C-alpha cells in the first residue's frame, strides 16, 4: 500500500472514531446518570495510601456497601474538618481490611468498622474476593501502574463512557439480555445502573431516578431476596467459627489500639423485612454485643438512637443520597455526644 | 511498563517526540537507551541493576571471547559468561523450584530438611534478555559475528524497549547493524507500525483479556470435574488466550519498533494453521524455537549423529524449552509432549519417504477410501492440509492442559473431563462465555488458515483505503470500548 492510501486509511479511522465516540458520549450524558469511577483495586489502593495521615486529620472507614452509601463523605469532611477515607467494598467482609491495617505498624489512626453481620460472620471467599484482589494489587503495584491511575483519573473525570461496570464491551453484551442464562450456572444478578454511581471518594450514590422509581427499587429488593435465599441454603455457622471470627477481630483491634489507634464499630440502618430477617438470623446480643464486649471498643447501633433509627432505606438496605447527608450529620452528633474518640479525636464544633 | 497501559501511551508519545528531534544520531540513541531503562524501571526500579550487570559483563566478555586465541582461556571466558547469565536466571527463576525438589528428594530418602520458603521475585523479562545476551557471547566464542564496537550500541541491543521484556528474542546481526546508521521511520513505516500496534493491542486487550481470559480462568481454577462442554470451551479459550496474548505482544513490539524506524524479526506466523509439529514450531514463538535449534539442538549434534541421537536431541531440546517457560514440572511435561509429537512426526516422515516418492511418480493423485472416492469438497480439504491442521491444533490443545494447569492433579482432572463423560460434571461457563469462545476460536482458525502464506503488512497493502480505514477504526473502537485495565502479558512471567 502506498503512503497516500495508508494516510487516507488512518485519517478515515480517526474520523470514524471521533464521530462515533462523540455521539456515544453525547448519548450517555443525555441519560443523566452522571459520571462514575471504576471502583477497582486501583482506586482502593490510592485511598489506602492516605491512611497514614495523623489521627486528627483523618478517619478510615472499612466495611461493606452500607458504609459506602450511608456515609456522605463531603458532609463528614465539612463537619469534622478531617479526611474520610473510604475503604469499604460492596458485598465484602471487613475482616481482610481490618487485618491489613492491624498488621501495618504505621497505621495509628481512627478506624470506623461497619458491621453487616451477614458479611462479617461469613467465611465464604466470595465475600472477600474484591478486597483480597485489592490487597494483592497494592502489594505488587508498580510505578507505571501509579502513573496509569493518574491518567485514567483525568479521563474518567471527563468521559461518561469510561464506565467499566456498565459501558465496557463485555458489560454491555452481558446486560443486553440477548444471550439467555445457562441452566445450572450461577450468574451474578445485575444491579441497575441507577442504583450505584461511584464518586472519586468511593462513595456510592443512588441516582434521583432510582430514589423515585419503585420498579428499579423492586429490582434491587429482588436481588437481596436472591442473596438471602442463597444464604439460607448454607449451613448455619457453628459457634466455634463465630468464636474464632470474634477472636480475630479482638486480636486485630488490640494491635491497632496498642500503638495508639482507635476503633469504633457502627451498625448502619436497614429497614423492612430485611431488618426483620437480620434480627432473626443474627441476634444482636450474640454478635454485636459480643464484638463490643470482647474488644472493649465503643459501638453505635442505629437502633439505639432516635436520630439514627428512623431512616427508611430505599431498597431495605441503603440510604438515598439526601438521607445519607442527614444520617452522617446525626451519626457524627452521636459520636460527639458519646465521646467515642479519646483525646485528639474530638470532633470539630461546626 | 506494559504496552496496554496509559503510561505506555504517554511514554511512547514522549519517546517519539524526543527521538525525532533534529539532534545527532548518538544523542538520539542515548534518548532511546534512557527511555528503555525508564520502560524497564517503571516495573520495579531495583531490577535495572541486573540488566546493567548483564550488559556490562557480556559486552566485555564477548569482546574478549572474540579476540582470545588461547583455547583454555577462551573456554574459561565462555564458562564465566554462561555462569553469569544462566546463574542469574537459575537463581531468580528456578531457585525456589530447585530447593523444593531438593527438599522433596531429601525427605523421600529419610533426610528431613525443612528450610524457609524463599521469597524470590522474578525480574520481568529475565528469560528473554538472558537469551539475547547469551547468543551474543556464544556467537563471539564461535566467531560467527564480529563484536559490537560501541558500548552504547550493545546496551541498546540488549535493552531496546520494544523487545526487552517479552521478545522477539533478537540476534546481534538482526539489530546491531540498525544502530550503526541514523534511523528514522518513513511515513509508510510509521503508519504500518501504528497499525500493527493497534492490531496487537486489539489481540491482547479485546480478544485475550476481555473475551477469553474469563472462561479459561474459570475452567482452569475449578476444583471439581467438569462437564465436557465446559472443559473443552475452557481449553479452547486458553489456546486462543495464549496466542492472542503473546502474538499480540510481539505484534505491538514489531509495530513500536517500526514507528521508530527499526525492524524486529517475526515471532508468530499463524501457528494454528500448521500442518505438522515442525511446521508449528516454525510458526509459534519463532525466535525462541530458532534460538533453541541454533544454540541447543545443533550443538547437541542435531540430526548428524544418527537416528537415535536425533530423537534424543529433539527430546532434550523440547524438555529444556518447556522448562524455559516456567519452573514447574507441568512445563516439562508440556515440552515432553511436544518433543514426542516431533519424534513421532519424524518417524512417520522417515517411514513414508520411500512410499511418497513412489506415489508422486504415479500419474493419478486421488484420495480413495474403501474403494469410494471422497466428496470433492472433502478431498480438497484433505489435500490442502486443512484436516491435518485441525488435527495438529487438537493435539496442541492437549499440551496446553499441562501448560496452564497449576499442578498435575488439576491437569489430570481436566483431561478426564475432556475425554470422558463425567457423571454430574459441573457446568461453570455462561452462555456468553461459550458463545465468545466458539466465535473467536472459529474465526481465529479460519483467519490463520487463510493467512498462512502471507503477512499482515502484505494483506493491508492490498486493501482499498476505505476498507483498511474501517477495519482500523473497528479495532481501535473495540479496544477503547473493552475498557480492560492494564493486565500483564502472560509471557512476562516466563
Query: What b-and-e string marks burial along A131-154, b requiring 16 or more CB atoms within 10 Å of the CB?
Result: beebbebbeebbebbebbbeebbe
Q: Which has the closest alpha carbon to B92: B41, B116, B126?
A: B126
Q: How many Å apart are CA B440 and CA B403, to the nearest integer?
A: 21
Greater confidence (B433 vs B70) lies with B433
Residue of B nearest to A174 (CA): B432
Q: Which has the closest alpha carbon to B398: B385, B414, B410?
A: B414
Secondary structure of residue A338 in the 3-state scheme: helix
Q: pLDDT grade, residue B111 (50/70/90)?
A: confident
pLDDT tens readout for residues A41-98: 999 999 999 999 877 788 999 999 999 999 999 999 999 999 999 999 999 999 999 9
pLDDT at position B367 over 60: no
CA quadruple B339, B345, B348, B353: dihedral sign? negative
The pLDDT value given to residue A306: 93
CA atoms within 13 A on the CB side of B477: 19
Nearest Cα of chain B lies from the Cα of A311 at a distance, in angstroms, of 38
pLDDT at position B362 over 80: no
Query: What b-and-e string marks burial along B100-113, b requiring 16 or more CB atoms within 10 Å of the CB?
Result: beebeeeeeeeeee
Mean pLDDT of B193-221: 94
CA atoms within 13 A on the CB side of B184: 12
Find the angle CA(A290)-CA(A337)-CA(A265) to the nearest 5 degrees: 30
Nearest Cα of chain A lies from the Cα of B188 at a distance, in angstroms, of 5
Q: Are B4 and B201 in contact (CB under 8 A)?
A: yes
Q: Which residues contact B329 (CB under 8 A, 6 or more apart)?
A: B408
Nearest Cα of chain A lies from the Cα of B379 at a distance, in angstroms, of 36
Q: How many Å apart are CA B89 and CA B130, to the nearest integer?
A: 7
Are B472 and A13 a contacting pair at CB < 8 A? yes
Residue of A nearest to B463 (CA): A1
The pLDDT value given to residue B363: 47
Q: Which has the closest alpha carbon to A333: B244, A325, B449?
A: A325
Assembly ipTM? 0.85
**Which spans in B297-407 are helix H?**
307-325, 329-361, 376-384, 386-404
- Length of chain A, in residues: 350
A230 touches B: beta carbon within 8 Å: no
Are A9 and B484 a contacting pair at CB < 8 A? no
- What are the CA-CA distances from residue B215 to residues B198, B211, B230, B323, B428 (Å)? 24, 8, 9, 26, 9
Are A17 and B187 a contacting pair at CB < 8 A? no
Rounded to the nearest 5°, which phi and psi values hold at A234? -75, 145
Q: How many Å apart are CA A246 and CA A252, to the nearest integer?
A: 10
Residue of B nearest to A180 (CA): B431
Q: How many Å apart are CA A144 and CA B31, to the nearest integer?
A: 19
Smallest Cβ–Cβ distance between B194 and the set A10, A12, A167 belongs to A10
Phi/psi region, residue B261 (left: phi>0; alpha: psi -120 to 50; beta: rest), is: left
Q: Are B108 and B29 in contact (CB under 8 A)?
A: no
Q: pLDDT grade, residue A341 (50/70/90)?
A: confident
Q: How many Å apart are CA B83 and CA B425, to the nearest integer?
A: 49
Q: Which has the closest alpha carbon to B52: B66, B33, B65?
A: B33
Residue of B nearest to A181 (CA): B431
Q: How many Å apart are CA B78 and CA A55, to the nearest integer?
A: 60
Q: pLDDT grade, residue A186 (50/70/90)?
A: confident
Mean pLDDT of B6-18: 95
Report which secondary-structure segment, H or E, holds A62: strand A58-62
Nearest Cα of chain A lies from the Cα of B216 at a distance, in angstroms, of 15
B483 touches A: beta carbon within 8 Å: yes
Probe site for chain A from B43, B123, B465 (most A CB atoms < 10 A): B465
Tell me which residues of B are annotated as active site.
Answer: 325
pLDDT at position B402 over 80: yes
Are B460 and A143 a contacting pair at CB < 8 A? no
pLDDT at position B468 over 90: yes
Mean pLDDT of A117-144: 90
Q: Which has the closest alpha carbon to B491: B217, B207, B232, B163?
A: B163
Are B486 and A148 a contacting pair at CB < 8 A? yes
A46 touches B: beta carbon within 8 Å: no
Q: pLDDT grade, residue A346 (50/70/90)?
A: very low
Amino acid at each position: 500500500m502506498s503512503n497516500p492510501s495508508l494516510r487516507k486509511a488512518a485519517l478515515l479511522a480517526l474520523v470514524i472514531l471521533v464521530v462515533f465516540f462523540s455521539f456515544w458520549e453525547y448519548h450517555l450524558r443525555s441519560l443523566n446518570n452522571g459520571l462514575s469511577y471504576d471502583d477497582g483495586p486501583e482506586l482502593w489502593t490510592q485511598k489506602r495510601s492516605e491512611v497514614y495521615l495523623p489521627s486528627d486529620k483523618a478517619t478510615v472507614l472499612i466495611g461493606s456497601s452500607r458504609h459506602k452509601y450511608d456515609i456522605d463523605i463531603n458532609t463528614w469532611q465539612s463537619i469534622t474538618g478531617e479526611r474520610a477515607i473510604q475503604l469499604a467494598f460492596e458485598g465484602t467482609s471487613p475482616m481482610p481490611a481490618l487485618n491489613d491495617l492491624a498488621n501495618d505498624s504505621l497505621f495509628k489512626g481512627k478506624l470506623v468498622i461497619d458491621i453487616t453481620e451477614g458479611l462479617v460472620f461469613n467465611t465464604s471467599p466470595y465475600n472477600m474476593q474484591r478486597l483480597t484482589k485489592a490487597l494483592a494489587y497494592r502489594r505488587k503495584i508498580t510505578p507505571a501502574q501509579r502513573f496509569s491511575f493518574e491518567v485514567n483519573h483525568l479521563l474518567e473525570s471527563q468521559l461518561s463512557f469510561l464506565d467499566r461496570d456498565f459501558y465496557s464491551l463485555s458489560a454491555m453484551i452481558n446486560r443486553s439480555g440477548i444471550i439467555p442464562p445457562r441452566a445450572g450456572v450461577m450468574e451474578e444478578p445485575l444491579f441497575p445502573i441507577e442504583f450505584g454511581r461511584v464518586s472519586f471518594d468511593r462513595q456510592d450514590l443512588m441516582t434521583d431516578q432510582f430514589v423515585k422509581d419503585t420498579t428499579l427499587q423492586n429490582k434491587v429488593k429482588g436481588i437481596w431476596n436472591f442473596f438471602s435465599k442463597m444464604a439460607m441454603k448454607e449451613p448455619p455457622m457453628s459457634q466455634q467459627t463465630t468464636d474464632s471470627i470474634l477472636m480475630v477481630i479482638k486480636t486485630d483491634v488490640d494491635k491497632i489500639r496498642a500503638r495508639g489507634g482507635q476503633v469504633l464499630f457502627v451498625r448502619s440502618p436497614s429497614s423492612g423485612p430485611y431488618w426483620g430477617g437480620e434480627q432473626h438470623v443474627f441476634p444482636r446480643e450474640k454478635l454485636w454485643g459480643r464484638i463490643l464486649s470482647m474488644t472493649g471498643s465503643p459501638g453505635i447501633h442505629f437502633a439505639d438512637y432516635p436520630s439514627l433509627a428512623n431512616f427508611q432505606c430505599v431498597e431495605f438496605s441503603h440510604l438515598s443520597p439526601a438521607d445519607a447527608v442527614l444520617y452522617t450529620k446525626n451519626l457524627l452528633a452521636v459520636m460527639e455526644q458519646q465521646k467515642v474518640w479519646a483525646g485528639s479525636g474530638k470532633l470539630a464544633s461546626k | 511498563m506494559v504496552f496496554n497501559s496509559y503510561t505506555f501511551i504517554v511514554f511512547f508519545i514522549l519517546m517519539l517526540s524526543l527521538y525525532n528531534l533534529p539532534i545527532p544520531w548518538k544523542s538520539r540513541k542515548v534518548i532511546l537507551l534512557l527511555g528503555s531503562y525508564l520502560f524497564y524501571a517503571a516495573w520495579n526500579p531495583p531490577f535495572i541493576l541486573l540488566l546493567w550487570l548483564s550488559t556490562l559483563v557480556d559486552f566485555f566478555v564477548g569482546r574478549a571471547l572474540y579476540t582470545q586465541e588461547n583455547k583454555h582461556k577462551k573456554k574459561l571466558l565462555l564458562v564465566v559468561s554462561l555462569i553469569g547469565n544462566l546463574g542469574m536466571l537459575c537463581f531468580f527463576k528456578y531457585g525456589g523450584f530447585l530447593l523444593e525438589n531438593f527438599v522433596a528428594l531429601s525427605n523421600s530418602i529419610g533426610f528431613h530438611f525443612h528450610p524457609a520458603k524463599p521469597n524470590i521475585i522474578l525480574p520481568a523479562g529475565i528469560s528473554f534478555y538472558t537469551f539475547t545476551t547469551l547468543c551474543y557471547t556464544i556467537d563471539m566464542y564461535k566467531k560467527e559475528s564480529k563484536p559490537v564496537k560501541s558500548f552504547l550500541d550493545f546496551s541498546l541491543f540488549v535493552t531496546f524497549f520494544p523487545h526487552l521484556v517479552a521478545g522477539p528474542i533478537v540476534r546481534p546481526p538482526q539489530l546491531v547493524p540498525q544502530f550503526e546508521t541514523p534511523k528514522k521511520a518513513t511515513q509508510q513505516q510509521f503508519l504500518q507500525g501504528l497499525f500493527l500496534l493497534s492490531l496487537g493491542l486489539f489481540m491482547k486487550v479485546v480478544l485475550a483479556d476481555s473475551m477469553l481470559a474469563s472462561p479459561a480462568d474459570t475452567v482452569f481454577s475449578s476444583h471439581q470435574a467438569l462437564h465436557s462442554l465446559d472443559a473443552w470451551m475452557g481449553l479452547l479459550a486458553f489456546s486462543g488466550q495464549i496466542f492472542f496474548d503473546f502474538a499480540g505482544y510481539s505484534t505491538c513490539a514489531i509495530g513500536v519498533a517500526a514507528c521508530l524506524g527499526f525492524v524486529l524479526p517475526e515471532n508468530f506466523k499463524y501457528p494454528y494453521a500448521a500442518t505438522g509439529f515442525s511446521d508449528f514450531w516454525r510458526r509459534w514463538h519463532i525466535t525462541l524455537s530458532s534460538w533453541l535449534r541454533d544454540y541447543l539442538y545443533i550443538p547437541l549434534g542435531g540430526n548428524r549423529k544418527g537416528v537415535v541421537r536425533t530423537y534424543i536431541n529433539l527430546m532434550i531440546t523440547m524438555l529444556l524449552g518447556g522448562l524455559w517457560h516456567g519452573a514447574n514440572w507441568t512445563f516439562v511435561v508440556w515440552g515432553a509432549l511436544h518433543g514426542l509429537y516431533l519424534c513421532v512426526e519424524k518417524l512417520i516422515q522417515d517411514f513414508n519417504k520411500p512410499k511418497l516418492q513412489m506415489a508422486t511418480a504415479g500419474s493419478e493423485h486421488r484420495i480413495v477410501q474403501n474403494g469410494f472416492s471422497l466428496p470433492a469438497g472433502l478431498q480438497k480439504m484433505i489435500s490442502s492440509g486443512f484436516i491435518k491442521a485441525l488435527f495438529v491444533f487438537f493435539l496442541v490443545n492437549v499440551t496446553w492442559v499441562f501448560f496452564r494447569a497449576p499442578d498435575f492433579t488439576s491437569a489430570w482432572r481436566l483431561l478426564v473431563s475432556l475425554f470422558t463423560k463425567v457423571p454430574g460434571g459441573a457446568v461453570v461457563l455462561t452462555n456468553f462465555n461459550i458463545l465468545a469462545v466458539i466465535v473467536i476460536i472459529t474465526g481465529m482458525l479460519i483467519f490463520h488458515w487463510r493467512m498462512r502464506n502471507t503477512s499482515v503488512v502484505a494483506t493491508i497493502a492490498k486493501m482499498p483505503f476505505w476498507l483498511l480505514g474501517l477495519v482500523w477504526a473497528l479495532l481501535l473502537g473495540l479496544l477503547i470500548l473493552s475498557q480492560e485495565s492494564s493486565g500483564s502479558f502472560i509471557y512476562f512471567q516466563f
